[in-house]
Amino acid sequence: MLRFFRAYVKSMRLYYAFVTGIAGWIGVSFYQFCAPSRYSAPRGMVILAMLFLSWGINQIVNDYLGLPEDRVNAPNRPMVTGELHPRWALALSLAALFGVGLLSFHLNPWSLLPLLIGVLLNVLYEYAKAWSLLGNAVFGLSISMCTVYGFLASGPLLRPVFTSNRLSVVLLVALLNGLMTYYTYFKDAAGDAAAGKRTFVVRHGLQVSRWMGIAGAFLPTLAFLGMGYLGWLPFTDILYLRDFAFCGLMTLFLQVWTACLYFRYPTGERTYFSLVTNFRACVAGQVTLVAIFNGTLALYLLSASYVFIGFLFDMYRDPQA
């Protein structure tokens, strides 16, 4: 039993947890900003704990559905080697999701909606990968559900539910994560091709994909500026401009750095180890959205996430796992 749980935790790949955790933290902290009298700190901590663990729980589902390509891309993963029994691991994840669902219903029944959509998108993602950039879009939307969940689970429903600001933030989270997963396809190209998953890298080859990666590094910044120009995300709503600008510049640097790393090392061991910069860039972008309405929290999150993503990633030194 201890061996099973050790393999399960290893398969959760918790260096990813900051992706879902910070995405959800956007929603939690925004609810606190909008309705401070209704916000409960203990409730917020419970929500954040679930969001940080949600990646790992869903990762087991992804590993189960993605076994064919993992046998090529990551032959040393516990589920591939047999160290982690696939069906028992899947059963544990489904039980955990059921428990999260019950708790979510208690927090706010409306929070079940993004939870259900996120789980369905996570399953759909394994099949959407076969259709080039559709997989990236589905993945990005699945992570954006963490933001919606964090907001809805934090307290009673706030009206109006839909505003241009809130929808813009959700779209930006989706874009940041769609871009992040685009770079991960470089290391998975061989297995994806063998399993018939026609990702953009498989479909168009390394040369085109490298240049697309460079262009993609600027997409979140251009999208934010475009939304501001259209009035969807008014620049006057940025309450902590100095902190926002700092986080934004760090994000842009990390995104360009990520693109350059994958341009230079599209294959080989360095492709795997470039993931840590990729994750940091994605999380930094999400932190920048927190900086719009809570600059101090954003600076703390930027520092902590940068350190702990590297710390957790260093526990996974085997590119084949």
Residue 178: C-alpha distances to residues 162, 257, 286 (Å): 22, 17, 13
| pLDDT score at 154 | 96
Return the pLDDT at 197: 85
Mean pLDDT in runs of 10 for the chain (321 residues)?
88 90 96 92 93 86 84 87 91 92 95 94 88 93 96 92 90 97 93 87 95 97 93 80 95 98 95 96 97 94 96 87 70
pLDDT in the model for residue 190: 85
According to the model, what pLDDT value does residue 73 have? 81
Q: What is the predicted pLDDT for the residue at 122?
A: 87
Q: What pLDDT is attached to residue 61?
A: 85
pLDDT at 203: 94
pLDDT value of position 290: 96
